[in-house]
Every structure is written in C-alpha cells, then in structure tokens.
Amino acid sequence: MPAQEENKVVTLTHASGSSVKVSLFGATVISWIAKDEERLFVSQNAILDGSKAIRGGIPLVFPIFGTKSHIALPQHGFARNSYWDYLGVLTDNDEVKVRFGLKDNQLTKEQRQAWSHSFRLTYTVTLTATSLKTFLTVKNEDSDTMEFNTLLHTYFRVKDVAQVSVLGLKSLTFADKVANGETSIESRDAVTVAGEVDRVYQNAPDHLQVNTDNQGHQILIHKEGMKDTVVWNPWIEKAKGMGDFGDEEYHNMICVEVGSVAQWVQLKSGQTWQGGQTLAVV
C-alpha cells in the first residue's frame, strides 16, 4: 500500500516487492527498486529540503528546457522546484499508480509573471513488478495558445558508466551542447560515454535500449508523445563544479531523458497534451 511520509515523500509498493518513492517537491521520483535493485541515481550530495531541485531520480522539466532569454524562469522551469498536490492512488490489475497535480495558482508571483498562462498539470507514476511509467498531462486552461518544453530528466544508476551504451540513436541529428550547440549526425550503433556528454537527439524513435553494463542487463525505454531524447553525463570537471553532486559520482550515472525540447509544444486554449515514458527492466 502507498504511504505519505512525514518528509513529504510518497512511497508506492507492489506485491512483487518493487517500489517507488516520489517527493512532493517537484513530483520527483527519487527511488525505483525493481528485481531487488535500485535503478535510479540520486547524488549523495542531493539537497532534499526543498531549497533547490533534487539532483537525481526523475526531475520533471516544464515549461522550459535549459534557460530562455525571453522567459525569466530558472533553468528547466518551475515544475521541479514546486510542491505538487498529492491526488491519491489507484490500483488496476497488476498496476498501482499515484497521481500528483500542479496549477498556476500554486506558483509564486515571480513565476506567474514570467510565464503567465493558466494551466493544470497531472503527473501519473505507475508501478508494476518490472516497469515504471511516468506520464505528464498538460491542460491549457488559458484563453490563449501556450508554448512549452517538457522533459523527464531520468538519472539511471550504473556501476560503471564506461560499460554503458544506449541503442536506438544512430543516424539521428543531435545538438551538441559541449560543442556550443553544433549540430551533427550520430554515426554509432551504440552511444557510449568517455567524456562530458550533453546531446539533444531530435525526433528520436519511441523505443530505446540502455545497456547498464556489459553483462547483458538492460533497461528498455518506450516513450509516447515525447519527440526528443537527451543523453547527459557531466564527467570530471563539471562534476567538480556542482555542489550537489559528488566529484566521482559521474562514474555511477547516465541520464537518458525523453522530452519535447528541440521545438516548442503548442497547445491551444482548452486542449490537453500527454507524454511520458515506460521504463522496463530486462
């Protein structure tokens, strides 16, 4: 049964023994245990008191990706820095799910001035024995069309990032943030990490595979409604520059993040948009 804990974390458990924990701050998934193993990385230095976004798990990016010169919001927007409402639990056959909500009237005055649309966000986290589904629904309750970016900034926990590879990105166009946004074509069958990586792969396929080691362990990603995929690892120097990230922790994580960030999602007045991912342990 799910439980809402004193430290503002909702825990969801499944009959198989799998579990997920979601912080009400940012509706951030901070733990996913499947087949008796933790699958998500959260930094040992992560700040969990609500003063800044949680470094790890699955932070929720909305309504901007990165920073925008014409929108005075912090990096990656306000969703990961806001307390969400706990909307309760549903059970359906082999699934157990929990929902969270965020509306414009929960934002600060400064946030509403920077992004003045009326909206309703619903975030649904669904747990099974071997999978985790995280889906966002955006409803435009404004009188005007609104534009937004969104992304599930998933941090996968790995033993050694040198053994990790991501399949499904070959031949895609990507913007390389390490190379000042230069655009290139991915030529590799398997994307690996041997230095700082920060790439936005555009129009990525809906099925991706993360080989979490070289022993055949995999996490499959199936995305819906999300056009792009970001691959990120800060490597040595960037890791040292982040106060909420251990200097050597880059060895133990890789971010493979589904989202719609290369272009704005346009949502007309009264319309609803949905996107998300299903992660499955193999």
Residue 33's CATH number: 2.70.98.10
Tell whether 277 is in a known binding site.
no
Instruction: Please say whether the beta carbons of 80 and 54 come within 8 A.
Output: yes
Tell whether 75 is in a known binding site. Answer: yes
Residue 186 domain flag? no
- pLDDT tens digits for range 54-106: 999 999 999 999 999 899 999 999 999 999 999 999 888 799 999 999 999 99
- Number of domains, the chain: 1
Look at residue 127 and tell me if it is in a domain: yes
Marked catalytic residue, from 14, 76, 153, 249: 153
Segments forming the whole domain that contains residue 235:
3-159+228-281
User: Known binder of ligand: residue 199?
Assistant: no
pTM, rounded to two decimals: 0.96
Residues 14, 76, 249, 257: which is the catalytic one? Answer: 257
Question: Is residue 139 included in any domain, yes or no?
Answer: yes
In a domain, 109, yes or no: yes
pLDDT for position 1: 44
207 belongs to a structural domain: no
Distance CA 119, CA 73 (A): 16
Question: Given phi > 0 = left and psi -120 to 50 = alpha, else beta, which region is 91?
Answer: beta
Q: What single letter denotes the amino acid at residue 68?
A: K
Catalytic-residue membership of 257: yes
Task: Say if 213 falls within a structural domain.
Answer: no
Percent of the chain with pLDDT over 90: 96
The answer to whether position 266 is within a domain reads yes
User: Which tens digit of pLDDT belongs to each residue from 210-262?
Assistant: 999 999 999 999 999 999 999 999 999 999 999 999 999 999 999 999 999 99
What string of DSSP letters covers the chain? --EE-TTSEEEEE-TTS-EEEEETBTTEEEEEEETTEE-B-B-TT---SSSS--SBSB-EEBS-SS-BTTB---TTBSGGGSBPEEEEEEEETTEEEEEEEEEGGGS-HHHHHHS---EEEEEEEEE-SSEEEEEEEEEE-SSS-EEEEEEE--EEE-S-GGG-EEES-TT-EEEEGGGTTEEEE---SEE--SS-EEEEETT--SEEEEE-SSSS-EEEEEEES--EEEEEE-HHHHHHT-TTS-TTGGGGEEEEEEEEEEEEEEE-TT-EEEEEEEEEE-
Higher pLDDT among residues 74 and 2, named by residue: 74
For residue 145, give Cα distances in angstroms to 67, 148, 151. 21, 10, 20
* Domain presence at residue 35: yes
